[in-house]
Amino acid sequence: MSTALNLETAELPADAVEVGRITEAWGVKGWFKVLSHNADPQTLLVAKRWYVQPSERGARTFTGTAALAIRQSKMHSDVVVAWAEGIDDRNAAELLRGARIFVPRADFAPAKEDEYYWVDLIGLEVVNREGVALGQVRDLMTTGPQTVLVLAFEEEGSGKPQERMIPFVAAFVDKVELPERRITVDWQPDY
């Protein structure tokens, strides 16, 4: 039996953030498993509309961006499972395998005090207490017990692209100012 996806074509919102991927069908009624990109998948569980794009690898069962109206999503063991409008059997759910899931940043729950979404830190300028520019946040990475800011900057004189890493912990981070797009740290350029 052949199943075709009948997905609602949509435009990816300008503030969309990739939050997970569909891994496989779950059960026979159209549910599917989701691999969250975040240890706390709250955004996936709260958002009622997901935007999906096909996987970059493997067979493509749809093209462009589609909107999924989420009927229900919940935790099952340590994984998110979801059920969407128009996905009514296992075959349809299997056709979503590998799809990338995006949610508008506006749908994220507010961050708690002194907590930040990584996506909000990307692109911020980092300066030290003396006002010396150390670079721009290009990425963040987890190194066991702490998160590290990965900064991009150009080597003085040569203009050669460089990378600097600063632990994102209270001992080194004085202030995060999202409206000013700046992070102030206790760090020197030669560390």
In the chain, the domains with their CATH numbers are 8-107 (2.40.30.60), 118-185 (2.30.30.240)
Mean pLDDT of the chain: 92
pLDDT at 4: 63
Fill in the DSSP letter of residue 13: P
Q: Does residue 72 register a pLDDT over 50?
A: yes
Name the amino acid, one letter, at 99.
Answer: A
Among 25-34, 80-89, 141-150, the minimum mean pLDDT is found in 141-150
Name the amino acid, one letter, at 111.
Answer: A
Confidence of residue 2 (pLDDT cuts 50, 70, 90): very low
Among 1-5, 13-17, 76-80, 83-87, the minimum mean pLDDT is found in 1-5
Q: Does residue 172 register a pLDDT over 90?
A: yes
pLDDT at 118: 87
By the 10 Å C-beta count (0-12 exposed, 13-18 middle, 19+ buried), 11 is classed as exposed
**Cα dist. 57→9, 53, 98, 138 in Å?**
21, 12, 8, 25
CA quadruple 153, 118, 113, 127: dihedral, nearest 10: 0
Considering only residues 162 and 143, tell me which one the structure prediction assigns the higher pLDDT: 162
Confidence of residue 3 (pLDDT cuts 50, 70, 90): low
Considering only residues 1 and 139, tell me which one the structure prediction assigns the higher pLDDT: 139
Q: Does residue 105 register a pLDDT over 60?
A: yes
Query: What is the pLDDT averaged over residues 121-140?
Result: 96
C-beta neighbour count of 81 within 10 angstroms: 16
Beta-sheet pairing, 133-143 with 125-128: antiparallel
Query: What is the pLDDT averaged over residues 153-178?
Result: 92
User: Is 0.85 surpassed by the pTM of this model?
Assistant: no
Fill in the DSSP letter of residue 77: T
Written as six digits, the tokens of 63 are 């093209």
Query: What is the pLDDT averaged over residues 99-111?
Result: 91
H or E stretch covering 31 = none
Cα radius of gyration (the chain): 20
